[in-house]
């Protein structure tokens, strides 16, 4: 019996020592990252790249960063955020929109820890000081990718290969982040092909390769010749490549990652976020003990967005057109949501309240339009352009 | 053909009679130890990590901090509560595979109270209302398959399983109805500011009420199944419906009543999941626990006190596995393998408790009988 107790004692001791060793870290600062999927999703891969980029620039060790993978947008996010705080994280960043309410709940309990819900849109109205949101100017890269698509569409129309400038878009959920993105994409196309029109098909999931593929096929069968996407898998580009291989005229504009690997001839480009442009300053501020701004958003001017390498079948002159547009965005001469460029129900928009304070999902404060220009991601970091403009049809989602 | 040779097989397996409790538990412990050794070999050969360190990490994952310990307790209570719901049905040999759905409808009922009753009743009054509503919702979900089984002899396994899918679709519908923010397809934290309909912290701990409710249920179910007339009826119906009929037990009534109780307790689990843990509702509110619990109920042979142990073991393994995955940047698969091996050995140990393996006499030194 004594022997048994001795063995047990040693075992417990061994476990404790192992435990303490694992907790030890050379530096004080600790960063926790909550990802909705893992590296298999282009969106999360872009975030991981962003974190690793910041790690390199700021000289953080691997022990200082704790990743939590495949955390759904449910109470699991709260549990994991709390767990990261308990492990001594000073800054915790989640990467998906639906994580935010759970992050805010955890933030209330850990006032000394900063919680950043990337892509979230509620930090500005939270009473807590330790919460923040950030979001790159994705609408800029979407507009530029739209220009690439527009050039191709014009080439197809000019050569007679296509009669109807019909564009499709595979979207995840019907709310501002997606609406802002597809509208910027569409305006990019329309800057080249003014008569273009677009259908949007929703999948109601951020990551569902099968549903995204099916949505793309549905759009192709309706006659779409270029299909953009705001969903995180390669489902749509793969389906588009298959359709193109079978003889259809159809091209893909992706998101997050270059789609050339899955759609070597169908991919024109992808709109991409360079998250390290947001992670690095945020983490740096937190490391120095400075307050992290409640909303932080940058774009082309700060290298926060880009488009993926152009595919082999882009129209001639695309690279030059892209460079000119990017230059215009950076110097401010090109305003993507210029109200002169779109109408809603046939009318030009003169006012739009972007922020909602009473929880009815309708803006009641925050004028987004100044001097005829709708400024996106200026009042808060997350996109708020949720107008359904003329020329775009949202197909009924089941 | 040497059919009539009657050569004695190498092994003979026979049902063992009474096994002393200590021996049974000794066998289980040996099984657990063997499982740990086999897992250690696999961990070392596949991922080249020190197995002791990995086990230490698992322990850390479940109990490493005060908060983690409470989360482990909370999840154990959740699993246990569903297990308690399944126990009466299983003891009656009614294969209730529908706990998942019963938990979900209970959760929907609680979430509905949190959303529609705010500003209408006080925050202390809402909790009992939620409790009753969830219980009723679960009871209805249990009553339906129970009624059809009693009345028309439908297959309860398929029926309860199908009821899960209906409950999942129902949940999707309500998530879309209550989504917050609009268009996000998630409900988010309900009443995050006012905490209306949340369990109040007791002694500064958020999950104490979960523990109290479930422990009361543990004792109640134990007494109900072992010392009440209804519990006896359940056992008789489970062993032989004909005997039950011969004794004058109204079998149909017992089936329906037991399924209502089973569903009601699972409904309470939904209440715990929404009001006492997640404060939200989604199709993953039950999170597959309705199925995991079947293992708990079986391994514990429907004894509620033993169920506490097995629920704790399963939650420990789950938390440990998650921590391994996070700490060593492994995919969840390696840790799931460890969980699988441990469960396999523990389930296997039941075989050695219930059956005796006798070696062919020629090889066996001792001559029996």
The pLDDT assigned to A222 comes to 94
- Does residue A262 carry a pLDDT above 60? yes
pLDDT, average across residues A255-264: 93
Closest chain B residue to the Cα of A105, Cα to Cα:
B192
- The answer to whether position A160 is within a domain reads yes
Q: Which residues of A touch B68 (CB under 8 A)?
A: 83, 86
Helices (H), chain B: 21-47, 51-63, 66-91, 99-116, 126-152, 156-178, 208-227, 229-239, 241-246, 251-271, 289-299, 304-327, 332-354
Task: Write out the H or E segment, with its range, that includes residue A331.
Answer: helix A318-331
The pLDDT assigned to A19 comes to 44
Dihedral (C-alpha) A150, A154, A160, A163: value to the nearest 10 degrees? Answer: 50
Q: For chain B, what's the residue count? A: 369
| Per-residue confidence band for B363, with pLDDT thresholds at 50, 70 and 90 | low
- Kindly determine whether residue A74 and residue B186, on different chains, have CB atoms separated by under 8 Å: yes
pLDDT, average across residues B63-78: 92
The pLDDT assigned to B135 comes to 97
A370: three-class secondary structure by DSSP = strand
Same structural domain, A115 and A176: no
Domain count, chain A: 2
Cα(B283)–Cα(B274) distance, rounded to whole angstroms? 12
How many Cα atoms occupy the beta-carbon half-sphere of A12 within 13 Å? Answer: 6
The pLDDT assigned to A17 comes to 47
Sorted by where each begins, the domain ranges of chain B are 72-308
- The answer to whether position A352 is within a domain reads no
Same structural domain, A217 and A266: yes
Q: Give the least confident one: A275-279, B123-127, B188-192, B355-359.
A: B355-359
Same structural domain, A217 and A156: yes
Higher-confidence residue of B201 and B337: namely B201
Q: What are phi and psi of B191, to 5 degrees?
A: 55, 50
Q: Which residues of B touch A180 (CB under 8 A)?
A: none
The pLDDT assigned to B301 comes to 86
- Kindly determine whether residue B56 and residue A73, on different chains, have CB atoms separated by under 8 Å: no
Contact between B92 and B234 under an 8 Å Cβ cutoff? The reply is: yes
CA distances from A235 to A210, A257, B136 (A): 6, 13, 43
| Per-residue confidence band for B184, with pLDDT thresholds at 50, 70 and 90 | confident
Q: Give the least confident one: A14-23, B3-12, B71-80.
A: A14-23
Angle at A248 between CA A247 and CA A251, to 5 degrees: 120
Residue B254, C-beta contacts closer than 8 angstroms, at least 6 positions apart? B92, B230, B233, B234, B237, B244
| Per-residue confidence band for B182, with pLDDT thresholds at 50, 70 and 90 | confident
Nearest CA to A231 out of A199, A247, A254 is that of A254
pLDDT, average across residues B39-49: 83
Whether chain A has a CB inside 8 Å of the CB on B110: the answer is: no
How many Cα atoms occupy the beta-carbon half-sphere of A53 within 13 Å? Answer: 18
| Per-residue confidence band for B277, with pLDDT thresholds at 50, 70 and 90 | very high
Whether chain B has a CB inside 8 Å of the CB on A67: the answer is: yes
Same structural domain, A129 and A267: no
Cα(B156)–Cα(B326) distance, rounded to whole angstroms? 40
pLDDT, average across residues B9-28: 80
Model pTM? Answer: 0.83
| Per-residue confidence band for B328, with pLDDT thresholds at 50, 70 and 90 | confident
The dihedral of CA B17, B23, B25, B28: what is its sign?
negative
- Does residue B129 carry a pLDDT above 80? yes
**pLDDT tens by residue, A273-291:** 999 999 999 999 999 989 9
- Does residue A16 carry a pLDDT above 60? no
Query: Token digits for B167?
Result: 């409950």
Q: How many CB atoms lie within 10 A of CB A5?
A: 9
DSSP single-letter state for residue B357: E
Same structural domain, A32 and A106: yes
- Kindly determine whether residue B189 and residue A176, on different chains, have CB atoms separated by under 8 Å: no
Cα(A153)–Cα(A388) distance, rounded to whole angstroms? 22
Domain of residue A242: give its range: 138-273+297-336+383-394
Q: Give the least confident one: A18-27, A222-231, A333-342.
A: A18-27
A230: three-class secondary structure by DSSP = strand
| Per-residue confidence band for B367, with pLDDT thresholds at 50, 70 and 90 | very low
| Per-residue confidence band for A4, with pLDDT thresholds at 50, 70 and 90 | low
The dihedral of CA B119, B122, B127, B128: what is its sign?
negative
Task: Name the minimum distance, in Å, from the CA of B58 to any CA of chain A.
Answer: 10
Whether chain A has a CB inside 8 Å of the CB on B288: the answer is: no
- Kindly determine whether residue A14 and residue B279, on different chains, have CB atoms separated by under 8 Å: no
- Does residue A227 carry a pLDDT above 70? yes
- What's A70's domain CATH number? 3.40.50.2300
Whether chain A has a CB inside 8 Å of the CB on B118: the answer is: no
Same structural domain, A175 and A251: yes
- The answer to whether position A6 is within a domain reads no
Nearest CA to B274 out of A74, A243, A356 is that of A74
Q: How many CB atoms lie within 10 A of CB B289?
A: 26
Whether chain B has a CB inside 8 Å of the CB on A122: the answer is: yes
- Does residue B49 carry a pLDDT above 90? no
Dihedral (C-alpha) A60, A66, A71, A75: value to the nearest 10 degrees? Answer: -110
Percent over 70 (pLDDT), chain A: 92
Whether chain B has a CB inside 8 Å of the CB on A109: the answer is: no
| Per-residue confidence band for B12, with pLDDT thresholds at 50, 70 and 90 | confident
Same structural domain, A52 and A151: no
DSSP single-letter state for residue B272: I
- Does residue A263 carry a pLDDT above 90? yes
Task: Name the minimum distance, in Å, from the CA of B185 to any CA of chain A.
Answer: 7
How many Cα atoms occupy the beta-carbon half-sphere of B342 within 13 Å? Answer: 22
Whether chain B has a CB inside 8 Å of the CB on A70: the answer is: yes
Same structural domain, A265 and A323: yes
Pick from A109, A134, A159: which residue ends a domain? A134
Q: How many CB atoms lie within 10 A of CB A346?
A: 6
Task: Name the minimum distance, in Å, from the CA of B68 to any CA of chain A.
Answer: 7
Same structural domain, A48 and A175: no
- Kindly determine whether residue A105 and residue B182, on different chains, have CB atoms separated by under 8 Å: no
Higher-confidence residue of B295 and A17: namely B295
Same structural domain, A170 and A252: yes
- The answer to whether position A354 is within a domain reads no
- Kindly determine whether residue A121 and residue B181, on different chains, have CB atoms separated by under 8 Å: yes
- Does residue B4 carry a pLDDT above 70? no
- Kindly determine whether residue A14 and residue B181, on different chains, have CB atoms separated by under 8 Å: no
Cα(A320)–Cα(A322) distance, rounded to whole angstroms? 5
Return the number of CB contacts < 8 Å for A and B: 93
Q: Give the least confident one: A7-21, A191-205, A298-312, B107-121.
A: A7-21
Whether chain A has a CB inside 8 Å of the CB on B185: the answer is: yes
Angle at B237 between CA B231 and CA B240, to 5 degrees: 140
- Does residue A22 carry a pLDDT above 70? no
The pLDDT assigned to A3 comes to 60
Cα(B20)–Cα(B25) distance, rounded to whole angstroms? 9
Same structural domain, A115 and A153: no
Cα(A181)–Cα(A337) distance, rounded to whole angstroms? 11
Closest partner CB to B189 (pick from A14, A68, A105): A105
The pLDDT assigned to A1 comes to 53
Same structural domain, A71 and A113: yes
């Amino acid at each position: 019996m004594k022997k048994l107790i001795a063995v047990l004692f040693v075992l417990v001791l061994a476990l404790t020592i192992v435990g303490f060793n694992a907790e030890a870290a050379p530096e004080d600062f600790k960063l926790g990252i909550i990802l909705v999927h893992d590296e298999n999703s282009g969106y999360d891969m872009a975030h991981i790249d962003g974190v690793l980029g910041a790690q390199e620039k700021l000289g953080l060790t691997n022990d200082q960063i704790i990743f939590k993978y495949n955390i759904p947008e449910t109470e699991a996010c709260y549990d994991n955020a709390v767990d990261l705080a308990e492990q001594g994280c000073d800054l915790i960043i989640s990467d998906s929109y639906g994580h935010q309410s759970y992050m805010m709940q955890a933030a209330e309990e850990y006032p000394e820890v900063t919680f950043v819900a990337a892509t979230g849109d509620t930090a500005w109205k939270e009473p807590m000081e330790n919460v923040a949101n950030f979001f790159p100017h994705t609408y800029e890269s979407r507009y530029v990718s739209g220009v690439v698509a527009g050039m191709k569409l014009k080439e197809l129309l000019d050569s007679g290969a296509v009669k109807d400038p019909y564009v499709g878009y595979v979207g995840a959920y019907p709310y501002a982040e997606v609406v802002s993105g597809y509208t910027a994409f569409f305006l990019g196309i329309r800057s080249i092909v003014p008569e273009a029109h677009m259908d949007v098909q929703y999948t109601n999931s951020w990551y569902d390769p099968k549903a995204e593929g099916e949505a793309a096929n549905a759009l192709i069968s309706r006659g779409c010749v270029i299909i953009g996407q705001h969903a995180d898998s390669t489902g749509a580009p793969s389906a588009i490549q298959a359709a193109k291989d079978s003889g259809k005229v159809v091209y893909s504009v992706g998101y997050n990652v270059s789609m050339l690997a899955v759609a070597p001839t169908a991919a024109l480009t992808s709109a991409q976020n360079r998250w390290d442009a947001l992670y690095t300053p945020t983490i740096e501020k937190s490391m120095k003990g400075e307050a992290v701004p409640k909303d932080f958003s940058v774009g082309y001017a700060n290298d926060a967005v880009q488009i993926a390498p152009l595919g082999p079948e882009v129209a001639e002159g695309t690279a030059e057109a892209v460079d000119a547009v990017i230059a215009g965005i950076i110097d401010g001469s090109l305003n993507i949501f210029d109200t002169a460029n779109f109408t809603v129900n046939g009318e030009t928009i003169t006012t739009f309240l972007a922020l909602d304070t009473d929880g009815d999902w309708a803006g009641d404060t925050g004028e987004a339009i100044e001097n005829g220009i709708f400024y996106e991601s200026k009042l808060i970091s997350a996109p708020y352009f949720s107008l359904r403009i003329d020329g775009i049809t949202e197909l009924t989602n089941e | 053909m040497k059919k009539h040779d009657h050569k004695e097989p190498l092994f003979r397996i026979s049902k063992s009679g009474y096994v002393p409790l200590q021996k049974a538990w000794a066998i289980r412990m040996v099984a657990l130890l063997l499982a740990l050794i086999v897992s250690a070999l696999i961990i070392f050969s596949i991922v080249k990590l020190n197995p002791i360190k990995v086990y230490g990490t698992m322990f850390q994952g479940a109990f490493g901090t005060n908060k983690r310990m409470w989360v482990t307790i909370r999840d154990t209570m959740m699993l246990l509560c569903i297990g308690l719901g399944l126990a009466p049905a299983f003891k009656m040999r009614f294969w209730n595979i529908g706990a998942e759905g019963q938990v979900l409808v209970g959760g929907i009922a609680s979430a509905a109270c949190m959303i529609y009753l705010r500003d209408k009743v006080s925050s202390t009054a809402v909790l009992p209302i939620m409790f009753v509503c969830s219980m009723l919702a679960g009871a209805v979900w249990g009553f339906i398959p129970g009624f059809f089984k009693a009345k028309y002899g439908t297959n309860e396994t398929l029926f309860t399983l199908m009821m899960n899918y209906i409950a999942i679709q129902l949940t999707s519908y309500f998530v879309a109805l209550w989504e917050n923010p609009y268009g996000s397809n998630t409900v988010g934290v309900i009443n995050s500011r006012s905490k209306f309909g949340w369990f109040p912290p007791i002694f500064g701990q958020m999950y104490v009420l979960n523990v109290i409710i479930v422990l009361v249920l543990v004792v109640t179910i134990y007494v109900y199944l072992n010392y009440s007339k209804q519990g006896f009826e359940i056992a008789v119906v489970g062993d032989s419906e004909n005997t039950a009929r011969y004794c004058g037990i109204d079998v149909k009534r017992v089936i329906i009543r037991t399924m209502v109780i089973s569903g009601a307790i699972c409904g309470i689990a939904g209440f715990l999941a929404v009001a006492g843990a997640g404060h939200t509702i989604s199709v993953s509110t039950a999170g597959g626990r309705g199925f995991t619990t079947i293992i708990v109920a079986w391994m514990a042979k429907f004894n509620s006190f033993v169920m506490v142990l097995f629920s704790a073991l399963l939650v420990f393994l789950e938390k440990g596995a998650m921590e391994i995955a996070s700490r060593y940047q492994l995919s969840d698969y390696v840790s799931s393998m460890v969980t699988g091996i441990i469960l396999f050995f523990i389930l296997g140990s039941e075989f050695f408790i219930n059956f005796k393996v006798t070696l062919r006499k020629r090889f066996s030194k001792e001559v029996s009988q």
